[in-house]
Structure 1
Amino acid sequence: MKPRSLMYTLYGEYIQYYGGEIWVGSLIQIMNKFGVSESSVRGAIFRMVQKNLMQVRKIGNKSYYSVSEQGKRKVDEGVKRVYTTQSQTWDGMWRVLTYSFPEEKRELRNEIRNELNWTGFGVISNSTWVSPNPLEEQVLEMIETYQIEDNIFLFSAASIVSHDNQSIIKKGWDLDRISNEYNIFIEKYTPKFEELREKALNNTLTDDECFIERTNLVHQYRKFLFQDPGFPRDLLPPQWAGTKARELFWNIHQLISIPAVRFFESVYEPAPDKNIQAQRDKAINPFREIYM
């Protein structure tokens, strides 16, 4: 796992429910479970602080880290998309976004492209992105965060005159490829679910094993946020593989969540000046609705 991506998973799955801040020693111990060395953890933290994605507090000789407002926005959006259900019906509106950046802002333009891809937009022509999802709030927040009011325009339209809806979807997204990726996930995690369920029935699952399995599961599933735009279900093909993959994800997640959170609590150390009111129930079950 890449350290930066793993940190986002850990903050979204656990740390945010325990005050949003963690001692670097606890973070090193946790990330070592996934083969990430102490030097790699510290290097990733340093780069994330430089990019204003993380912030540090010093108390005595200890450092406590939390995500910045910019980083928190990414964590919150990722958690929301992983754990909320897809809308049944489309509202009939296309969100159309265009941008123009001068060459000296090329790096910023690339960052905005990554943001749009993460949010679920599809590119249909040079500098023109579309989505059928109600993403106005996220886009406006992105514009404010990056201070790019002069570079981006967001429109909404009930129809695109030159193309029908399925043509736009085919141009902006490769749903066949995404479906194949979901099938790979299903093939990998179906036997894993059976294995974990058998261990649970025999009472041989350990807390640290559940923590590793849950974190790996979420980390793998999060990758679909960069691929699957999360369309309303009436715009998806019949027998969409993402539906089965999501059900499998939920079943494994709930099977191992209690011992996984128990392990996290055993290694987590908050700052001594914080009276943490842990939201343990949300850490165990972050699903806002059960998607079955």
Structure 2
Amino acid sequence: MHEDPSPRLRPQSLMLTFLGNYVLRRDIAVFSGSFIEVFAGLGVGEHAIRSTLTRMTGRGLLARHRQGRRMYFGLTERSERILLDGEARVWRRGAVNGDWDGHWTVLSFSMPESWQRQRHDLRSRLMWAGFGSLGNGMWIAPSQVELGPVLSSLNGSLEHLDLSRHLRVFHGTAGEPTDVSQMMRDAFDLDELAAGYQEFLDRWDRRDPIPKAPHDLARYLWMMTEWLQLVRVDPRLPVQHLPEDWPAVRAQRVLHELGERYDGPARETADRLIEFIPVRKPAAPEV
């Protein structure tokens, strides 16, 4: 069993979970001191929180709002998109793909050897979108992925390239003699995925997880942040082609059970600790 009393998570990851649960859709900006008070319960110090707020503002993830001598922080369009995506991955898509229709998206690309950075950026984005590599520039995803939104969100070294000249995309089913289970093992690191869910279970699948936590708000933020990190890298492979004891099945059940237990008390604590002001809908980040 996991011996660590609490997960080791980056302050920005915890911050995004907090914003997604207690700021998203409320059109509010939260007092900087409230962040400090909330995250003190998670063992994150004031300096780390102030640095995180500054970095997230610089990256267009937070907008500053001054009222008198106090500074408040609210969402931007960019952070709203990220938080809505995380919400969909957790509560609508989930980690267990039990209704797969057998369709794959197959993508191949070919780029000049000198485009090492461009290839790296494209691979990173494909992995984020749920693709795994079969080698030789061929990638697969266990669903009909619409590449438009994926490619439109590319930036950096790829945003000015005409990728239609370098990519080929197909949708379809696997035919004989393809062994789908083996193909998935070739394209995706199933051992690493399973290890992540097993670590989650070791920490949370017990009668009283993290008993020394100061309150259920801390437990909820820890648990949801850890879960988000898992599902953001999980391609949602069809469960019928995974090992029978695939740990994501049990892990998702534990998440929902504990979520119901923690949500009410966590929200009460958050409401007590958060000082905020109303703000207008987030503006697009400056370019």
User: For this structure pair, what is the TM-score category when the shorter chain's length is used for normalisation?
Assistant: 0.7 to 0.9
Q: Is 2:250 the partner of 1:239?
A: no
Q: Is 2:259 the partner of 1:260?
A: no
Alpha-carbon shift at residue 256 of structure 1 (Å)? 1.6
Q: Distance in 2 between matches of 1:252 and 1:17?
A: 24
Q: Distance in 2 between matches of 1:58 and 1:105?
A: 44
Contact 1:96 1:157 in 2 (8 A): yes
What code does the residue aligned with 1:250 have? H
1:145/1:184 Cα in 2 relative to 1: closer, same or farther (>3 Å)?
Answer: closer
Gaps spanning 5+ residues in structure 1: where? 200-204, 276-292
What code does the residue aligned with 2:140 have? V
TM-score by length of 2: 0.77
Q: Distance in 2 between matches of 1:172 and 1:132?
A: 11
1:181/1:263 Cα in 2 relative to 1: closer, same or farther (>3 Å)?
Answer: same
Contact 1:118 1:225 in 2 (8 A): no
Alpha-carbon shift at residue 99 of structure 1 (Å)? 5.3
For 1:95, what is the secondary structure of its paired residue?
A: strand
Q: Is 2:28 the partner of 1:13?
A: no
Q: Is 2:163 the partner of 1:151?
A: yes
Contact 2:14 2:222 in 1 (8 A): no
Query: Structure 2 matches for 1:33-48, cutoff 5 A?
Result: 33-48=41-56
- Could you tell me which residue of structure 2 aligns to residue 224 of structure 1? 230
The CA RMSD measured in Å over matched residues stands at 3.2
Q: Distance in 1 between matches of 2:145 and 2:237?
A: 12
- Could you tell me which residue of structure 1 aligns to residue 208 of structure 2? 195
Q: 1:183 aligns with which of 180, 193, 198?
A: 198
1:274/1:62 Cα in 2 relative to 1: closer, same or farther (>3 Å)?
Answer: farther
Q: Distance in 1 between matches of 2:279 and 2:204?
A: 41
What code does the residue aligned with 1:40 have? A
Gaps spanning 5+ residues in structure 2: where? 1-8, 282-287
Q: Distance in 1 between matches of 2:138 and 2:78?
A: 24
For 1:184, what is the secondary structure of its paired residue?
A: helix
Higher helix share: 1
- Could you tell me which residue of structure 1 aligns to residue 68 of structure 2? 60
Q: Distance in 2 between matches of 1:233 and 1:68?
A: 36
Q: Is 2:142 the partner of 1:129?
A: no
Q: Distance in 2 between matches of 1:82 and 1:46?
A: 27
Contact 1:53 1:71 in 2 (8 A): yes
Q: Distance in 2 between matches of 1:60 and 1:30?
A: 22
Q: Distance in 2 between matches of 1:189 and 1:34?
A: 16
Q: 1:119 aligns with which of 98, 106, 129?
A: 129
Q: 2:98 aligns with which of 84, 88, 91?
A: 88
Alpha-carbon shift at residue 17 of structure 1 (Å)? 4.5
Alpha-carbon shift at residue 101 of structure 1 (Å)? 7.2
Task: Provide, for residues 199-218 of structure 1, a one-character-per-residue CA deviation record: whole Å limited to 9, x for no partner.
Answer: 9xxxxx99x51101111111
Task: Provide, for residues 169-215 of structure 1, a one-character-per-residue CA deviation record: whole Å limited to 9, x for no partner.
Answer: 11221223322332232222222xx126xx9xxxxx99x51101111
Alpha-carbon shift at residue 87 of structure 1 (Å)? 4.3
Q: Distance in 2 between matches of 1:101 and 1:48?
A: 33
TM-score by length of 1: 0.75
1:158/1:64 Cα in 2 relative to 1: closer, same or farther (>3 Å)?
Answer: same
1:243/1:267 Cα in 2 relative to 1: closer, same or farther (>3 Å)?
Answer: same
Q: Distance in 2 between matches of 1:72 and 1:180?
A: 30
